Amino acid sequence: MKGRLKRHIVLIGMMGAGKTVIGTELARRLHVGFTDSDVEIESAAAMSISEIFARDGEAFFRDRETQVLARLLKGTPGVISTGGGAWMRAENRELISAQALSIWLNCDLETLWHRVRQRQTRPLLQTSNPKAVLTELLAARNPVYALAEMSFPSQSGETVEAATSRLLEAIRKTQPDLLEMK
């Protein structure tokens, strides 16, 4: 069975909210394609996100991010996971809102910190006080994330599978015309 979406589903939210893992699982359940803007940027550059930040800087990365999003949004509707900063750029919000249902994976600070603290893959958190940076970024970004079309609250302790089931249920309920199965 192949699923069909009327528009893309774009996951937004903070580092560690689960955009990559939940997006992967959501696409699998819906039988639609999955892409992650970070992965697309890394493969085009043949470098990791950390290497891109170190060599070319954040501004360069943000421009690549906008290019990748514009390209992905032109494709067959599927699930697209963004990086945590993508929704901060007005141009990206406009691109996404024109072609997609945007969903904010809304997650509290302690849960985010628990999930990201062991990982070395996020250059913005490679500082002497990563929790302070995460706290500040979250406070600055939450009002902008709240502009997403739909908000999905994370429940700490929930498995990725259970969270995806709950998300799918919420999408079916609020967006009955988005999903077509054939």
Annotated binding site for ATP: 16-21, 122
Which of 42, 56, 108, 158 contacts ligand ADP by CB under 6 A?
A: 158
From 121, 107, 82, select the one nearest 163 (Cα to Cα): 107
Q: Is residue 115 within the footprint of ligand ADP (CB under 6 A)?
A: yes
Which of 21, 39, 147, 168 contacts ligand ADP by CB under 6 A?
A: 21
Q: Is residue 115 within the footprint of ligand S3P (CB under 6 A)?
A: no
From 72, 89, 95, select the one nearest 145 (Cα to Cα): 89
Query: CB–CB of 94/88 below 8 Å?
Result: no
- 120 class by beta-carbon count within 10 Å (0-12 exposed, 13-18 middle, 19+ buried): exposed
Which of 12, 20, 26, 125 contacts Mg ion by CB under 5 A?
A: 20
Contact positions with ligand S3P (CB under 6 A) in 76-95 = 83-85
Q: Is residue 16 within the footprint of ligand ADP (CB under 6 A)?
A: yes
Q: Which is nearer to Mg ion, 19 or 141 (CB)?
A: 19
Per the annotation, binding residues for Mg(2+) are: 20
Which of 48, 123, 130, 142 contacts ligand S3P by CB under 6 A?
A: 123
How far is 22 from 160, CA to CA, in rounded Å?
6
How far is 105 from 14, CA to CA, in rounded Å?
8
Q: How far is CA 106 from CA 2, 21, 43, 53, in A?
A: 29, 14, 28, 26
Contact positions with ligand ADP (CB under 6 A) in 26-65 = none
Minimum separation from the CB atom of position 101 to ligand S3P (A): 19
